[in-house]
Amino acid sequence: MDKSAVVLGVIGVILSGITIFAIYYGPIKALKIQRALDAEREERNRKLQLFKTLVSYRVTRLAPAYVQALNLIDVEFTENNEKEKAVRECWKELRDLYDNYKTTANPEEKSADLNAALLAAIGESLGYHFDKVYLKRGGYYPEFLGNVEVEQHTLRRQLLELLDGKRKLPIAKFVEDFPPVKLPPKAGNPEKP
C-alpha cells in the first residue's frame, strides 16, 4: 500500500470523526448559546420593566406598583459590575431614608433627590442617560388626580375615625313642611265645588 493512500485514509477518518462530532455537538452547543442569549434578554427585560415602572410612578411614590418595583431592585440588579453596584448603593440610601423618614430633617426633598439618583443609576445601567433634574421634576401628574387622591385619603381617614368611635356621624331630622300641591284639573273632569 502506498504511503499517500494511508495518509489520505487517516485524514478521511479524522475528517469523518470531526464531522460526526460537529453533527452531534453542534446543535447542542447552538441550543446552549440560544438559551444563554434568551436568559440575558429576559434578565434585561425584567430590569427594563422595573425601570419603566419606577419612572412611570415617580410622581406617586406611594403607589403599590412603585413600592413593589423598589423591593425588586435587590433581586434584579445583582451583577458585580460598577453600574449595578451603584444602583444597589442608591437603593440602600433611599431605603435608609424611608426607614428613618420621621426623624429625618426635610425628608420629602431628600427622598425626591435620592429617588432621582436611583432612577438615574438604573437608567445608566440599562444604557439610558437621564438628567437627575428631569427625573426629579419631569413627571406629569394632573392637579385633579392629586385632589382626588387627597379626597380619598381624607374620606378613608374619617371613616376609620368613625368606625373607631373617634368621630360622630351627624344626623339631622328632615322636616316636611311643604304646602300641599294642587294639581290642575284633568280635561273632561271638572273640579267639583
Does 43 map to a domain?
yes
Q: Is the pTM of this model over 0.75?
A: no
DSSP class of residue 104 equals S
Locate cell 435620592: which residue? Answer: 114
189: cell is 273632569
84: cell is 449595578
Does 191 map to a domain?
no
Does 174 map to a domain?
no
Identify the three-state secondary structure at position 109: helix
Assess whether pLDDT exceeds 60 at residue 191: no
Question: CA 192 to CA 189: how far, in whole Å?
Answer: 9
For residue 188, name the pLDDT band (cuts at 50, 70, 90).
Answer: low
193: cell is 265645588
pLDDT of residue 64: 92
Domain count, the chain: 1
Domain that holds residue 82: 10-163
pLDDT tens digits for range 12-46: 889 988 888 888 888 888 899 999 998 899 999 99
Question: CA 28 to CA 42: how far, in whole Å?
Answer: 21
Query: Residue 121 corresponds to which amino acid?
Result: A
Query: In whole angstroms, how far apart are CA 68 and each of 53, 74, 75?
Result: 9, 11, 11
Assess whether pLDDT exceeds 70 at residue 112: yes
